Structure 1
Amino acid sequence: MTSTPDPAPGASAAPVTAERRLHPMSWLFVLLQQLKQFIVPLLALLFFGRGDRNELWPLIGVGVLVVVSLWQYATYRYGVAGDRLVVRSGLLERSLRVIPFARIHNVALQQSLLHRLFGVAEVRLESAGGKKPEAQMRVLKLSDALALEALVRRRGAVTDAEAAPEPAAEPPLLVLPPGEVLRLGLVSNRGLIVVGAAFAGASQFSPRLIPNAFESLGGELFGYAGAHGFGPAEYALAAASLFAGFVLLLRLFSMLLALLQYYGFRLSEHERRLTVERGLLARWRTSASRRRIQAWTLREGLMHRLLRRRSLEVDTAVADDNPEQSRALRELAPIAPAATCDALIEHLLPKAQWSQLEWRPLPAASWWRLFLPGLPWTLLITVALTWRFGGWGLLALGWLPWAAFKARRRAQRSAYAMGAELVAAREGWWSRTWRFAELDKLQALQLTRSPVDRRCGTATLWLDTAGAGAMAPPLRIRFLPEAEARALYAALSRTLAKRPLRW
């Protein structure tokens, strides 16, 4: 038997309300989830089998999985006991989980196309910092899943979620129409995911399938060019056309993927909990308390600026073993006008006074420190190209003026700001980011000085928060004069010492 820690002594032991079961078709979804790793061999057996009886042995495993799925449905129960959720499962080896509502930081509902056809949803109850959900229910009737989400949202204030009156619906904070979703496809350039998946799938059937296709296509193209007597100009035009066509194809794939993943995007707020819904065929719905947000990232790439858009992301201290669910919770505004992103920040962080922060620029003379790391690579590439192509390889040195220009612009834009409730850092020029966090959410401060820092009299201040994603930019302030860095470090230390840490 497994369970969470018992309630504090003296707490009233509330009786468990009528226990509920999973949806009658839940065994089918559990079976399909377990069959994912066997689906390719089974399809090969079905379509390419030769009639040998030995090939039917895998079907015994499928039968066992069916029995296991039915067993899980028959033994799984959940109910509410005051401010706790009670989950029972197993018959021979019984398991009991008592999960306080205060421990549940995120409620995630997932609906695939099959889920939507049956009117059901998979529910995941996640806690802060865990790699696995506190409870995972495959599957519940959609109305029961929404009732459970509402009950968690109210922290168990009532024991019957269906009988409790729902508060009046508030207007959503952000809704993305199809036009904005298509813009997101242009910005994100996730078409490479589709191409990569196609290459991976094709290689599973034959390792030589893709190389043979490229050899055949290349032979036809060069044969056509040779038959028509193409010169250098024609070859260059043909290469540029192929490249433009490939980029256009990637953008089309990216827009299609954005429609599938972000169609119907809706960000809403219910009693200080944020809820994100999105998806065309499969739908994701996930919610978390505003106080679980640890850090914020505002992004603006080149395509963002061309379309006058930005994106707003957050880090939350919840389980992240499901990439799709974690991304649904992380992206508060996948794409939106700059004014909309600023309004969201002002609404969710009213005391931070985001629009009134005073940005302090970093020393502009530090541009050479941004330029220096790329210099050895440029020289190495130039040497390699010169060895292969002779004097033409020296053209690679033309990258250095552009790299120096970029470094200067990055140094000019780098800045930091510190208010009464917020600390923020701004970096980048070609691709811009704003990284910020509430002072109460900071967990660690670190002042570092590299040999170059000691030579230049500077330092870097690192600020750590919980739940930072692998792809999130670091929250740091670089190239600060040592005296200023130490003064900022001391001020932040005093502020953190006076305030309790919030999760």
Structure 2
Amino acid sequence: MRLHPISAVSRALRYGVNGLSIPFFLVVILNTVGVGSVDWLFLVAPVGLVVGVAYGAMTYLRYEYDLGEDTFDVAQGVIGRTEREIPLRRIQNVDVSQNLLHRAFGVAVVRIETAGGGGTEATLSVVAEAEANRLRREIRERRARVTAEEAAAPAAETAAEPNAGGAAETGTDVEAGERGPATAAQSPSAPPAGAESSATEGQRPATEPTQPRELTSEVLFELSPVELLALAVTRFRFRSLALLIVAIPLAEDFILGLLLSAAAPFGGPSTLDPEVMTGQEMIAVGVVGPPLLLAASILLSVVVSTLEFYDFRLGREGDDLVYERGLLQRYSGSIPREKVQTITLTETFLMRPLGFAGLTVETAGYAGSRASQGSQSAVPIAKLDRTLALARELEDFEDLEFTRPPKRARRRYAVRYSIPIVLLLAVGYLVSTTVAQIPWYLPAVAFLVVPFAAHLKWANRGFAVGEDHLLIRDGFWNRTTRVVPYYRIQTVVSEATVFQRRLDLATLVADTASSATLLGGSPTAFDLDESTVNELQTGLRERLQASLHGT
């Protein structure tokens, strides 16, 4: 099958522009060194345009895809031909996205992601919206069928072994019969009356392949307008800070005017010229600037969150969780439940007083186009009890009491927070004695906050060991509670820095096969007593083996 005809137009235009621009730049460069003439553009540029358009059209004609019974096949390439077969059992997500232009023309981009892949395995840009939905639905159904057949294969082999043994015994009896009548002890016993019907009613024969369940859609969660507003206000999006920094040059005059107006009541300057600004004016700008930047980034974060999670829906189709979200850019995808490694409950310091929490899941080896995110939102925000209920549908973990790190860990945090203040005081004193007189001692006020910050960091860290799960909590501003099933743990690592060893502390790392682990985000319990870490390391290994053997 081929992509939507709009893809041919898009490719022809894109390659046509490239074909037009390359000769243009070549002629300009040659003309600057005295070779050729600008008049060459009227000859070379049209040729480049025609070649580019033709090549773009050929890329469309040479791009084909096919959904088979066991694989998804893609063939592409004009000069060099590339053909790929993607096993359906390896497909982890079929991601469908639409921007405003796509939605206007009724098309979508389909990305095929696989477990353990280094990137997107296949990108169909673009297909009809109905075709995108068909591919997502049929890939999920056929993947479920393939998985069910693979799961049934070992059972069929196991059932075949006794049958083979029985056939051998029967053959022996036949040979004995040829030599003479078999005795009653040698004859195989007849099955008791009703045994066959009882076996049929009691259990399915092992050789019968397991059929996948019909994939029916069930809505589990919908983000209400109130919850969307709470998400936008309580969850800061750090990408908004980067967007704001990029946007500063585009609105430089407005931003500088706003900064000068805000600094004026504090003795700010009339212009941001370092050569004429006094020390007092620099301090005024330094005091007003960061709060303005923070307020603007928070406002932009509200906009970004609203656009990203507008009309968020979470549903269930078969054994997969499916989601849709987005206003300008519409996304839809799936989270395979059998690939879930850990689940994480997130509570920002603004969410906790309001009783809200978010839920994310981390899947096995997901290294696709959004692997840097490390996880996928199952519930961006909801009331804590509702979030816990949805989390327990994925993993039935119990309520546990967390064990905090030893109190001596607070000393380590206090020292860590004090070091930047000491450095800031040293820099301020150096500036005051060499450049201009400034109140360099003002940062010393931050020492009053250090004990409280160290206590909050200590109080929001801990671990809990349950019957089937390990729970790890960390963070104050953005507190996370990670739930790790024992059977998902790959390795248990004990780590200790030089500073931790001085206090007999160590860190426990529970590695899983999730994408966050691949990016260095393994579930980690920090600054525990060294003996506790050693006990946990041994105990978790035993629980892992017990979980794998079903004991």
TM bucket normalised to smaller:
0.7 to 0.9
Asked if residue 398 in structure 1 is aligned to residue 441 in structure 2, the reply is: no
Code of the residue aligned with 1:70 in structure 2: it is A
Identity of aligned residues (%): 27
State the match for 1:481 in structure 2.
529
**Distance apart, 1:21 and its partner CA:** 2.0
Is this contact kept in 2: 1:423–1:438, CA < 8 A?
Answer: yes
Specify which of 354, 374, 384 is matched with residue 427 of structure 2. Answer: 384
**Distance apart, 1:137 and its partner CA:** 1.2
Code of the residue aligned with 2:90 in structure 1: it is R
**Distance apart, 1:60 and its partner CA:** 5.5
State the match for 1:179 in structure 2.
226
**Distance apart, 1:407 and its partner CA:** 0.8
State the match for 1:4 in structure 2.
none
Asked if residue 339 in structure 1 is aligned to residue 382 in structure 2, the reply is: no
CA-based RMSD: 4.1
Distance in structure 2 (CA, Å) of the matches to 1:435 and 1:93: 47
Specify which of 169, 175, 191 is matched with residue 217 of structure 2. Answer: 169
TM-aligned CA distance change 1:140 to 1:226, over 3 Å? closer
Distance in structure 2 (CA, Å) of the matches to 1:481 and 1:219: 52
**Distance apart, 1:481 and its partner CA:** 2.4
**Distance apart, 1:65 and its partner CA:** 4.0
State the match for 1:24 in structure 2.
5
Code of the residue aligned with 1:331 in structure 2: it is S
SS where residue 261 of structure 1 aligns? helix
Is this contact kept in 1: 2:348–2:479, CA < 8 A?
Answer: yes
State the match for 2:59 in structure 1.
72
**Distance apart, 1:72 and its partner CA:** 2.4
Distance in structure 2 (CA, Å) of the matches to 1:36 and 1:436: 51
**Distance apart, 1:286 and its partner CA:** 1.2
Specify which of 81, 90, 97 is matched with residue 110 of structure 1. Answer: 97
SS where residue 473 of structure 2 aligns? strand
Distance in structure 1 (CA, Å) of the matches to 2:417 and 2:438: 22
Is this contact kept in 2: 1:30–1:138, CA < 8 A?
Answer: no
Code of the residue aligned with 2:127 in structure 1: it is L
**Distance apart, 1:68 and its partner CA:** 3.0
TM-aligned CA distance change 1:303 to 1:288, over 3 Å? same
Is this contact kept in 2: 1:294–1:438, CA < 8 A?
Answer: yes
Is this contact kept in 2: 1:364–1:412, CA < 8 A?
Answer: no
Asked if residue 250 in structure 1 is aligned to residue 268 in structure 2, the reply is: no
Code of the residue aligned with 2:410 in structure 1: it is W
TM-aligned CA distance change 1:226 to 1:341, over 3 Å? closer
Distance in structure 1 (CA, Å) of the matches to 2:391 and 2:18: 42
Distance in structure 1 (CA, Å) of the matches to 2:450 and 2:39: 66
**Distance apart, 1:148 and its partner CA:** 1.2
**Distance apart, 1:239 and its partner CA:** 9.2
**Distance apart, 1:110 and its partner CA:** 1.1
State the match for 2:198 in structure 1.
none
Code of the residue aligned with 1:371 in structure 2: it is A
Per-residue CA distance 1:277-299 (angstroms, 9 max, x = gap): 11112211111311222223322
Distance in structure 1 (CA, Å) of the matches to 2:340 and 2:427: 48
SS where residue 142 of structure 2 aligns? coil
**Distance apart, 1:349 and its partner CA:** 0.9
TM-aligned CA distance change 1:88 to 1:439, over 3 Å? same
TM-aligned CA distance change 1:103 to 1:431, over 3 Å? closer
Is this contact kept in 1: 2:324–2:331, CA < 8 A?
Answer: yes
Distance in structure 1 (CA, Å) of the matches to 2:73 and 2:16: 29
Q: How does 1:365-376 map to 2 (within 5 A)?
A: 365-376=408-419
TM-aligned CA distance change 1:422 to 1:282, over 3 Å? same
* TM-score after normalising by structure 1: 0.77
State the match for 2:247 in structure 1.
198
Specify which of 86, 89, 94 is matched with residue 73 of structure 2. Answer: 86
Distance in structure 2 (CA, Å) of the matches to 1:457 and 1:235: 46
Structure 1 runs not aligned, ≥5 long: 1-19, 45-51, 203-208
TM-aligned CA distance change 1:58 to 1:287, over 3 Å? farther
Is this contact kept in 2: 1:151–1:158, CA < 8 A?
Answer: no
Per-residue CA distance 1:182-241 (angstroms, 9 max, x = gap): 3322233344243123136x3xxxxxx84x77667777888998999xxxx999999988
Is this contact kept in 1: 2:20–2:46, CA < 8 A?
Answer: no
Is this contact kept in 2: 1:84–1:156, CA < 8 A?
Answer: no
Distance in structure 1 (CA, Å) of the matches to 2:79 and 2:285: 69
Code of the residue aligned with 1:484 in structure 2: it is T
**Distance apart, 1:347 and its partner CA:** 1.2
Q: How does 1:115-126 map to 2 (within 5 A)?
A: 115-126=102-113
Q: Rg: which structure is higher?
A: 2
Structure 2 runs not aligned, ≥5 long: 26-37, 147-211, 271-279
Distance in structure 2 (CA, Å) of the matches to 1:388 and 1:235: 13
* TM-score after normalising by structure 2: 0.71
**Distance apart, 1:383 and its partner CA:** 1.8
Is this contact kept in 2: 1:287–1:329, CA < 8 A?
Answer: no
State the match for 2:123 in structure 1.
136
TM-aligned CA distance change 1:176 to 1:420, over 3 Å? same
Task: Judge which range, 84-93 or 395-404, deviates more.
Answer: 84-93
TM-aligned CA distance change 1:34 to 1:463, over 3 Å? farther
Asked if residue 330 in structure 1 is aligned to residue 373 in structure 2, the reply is: no
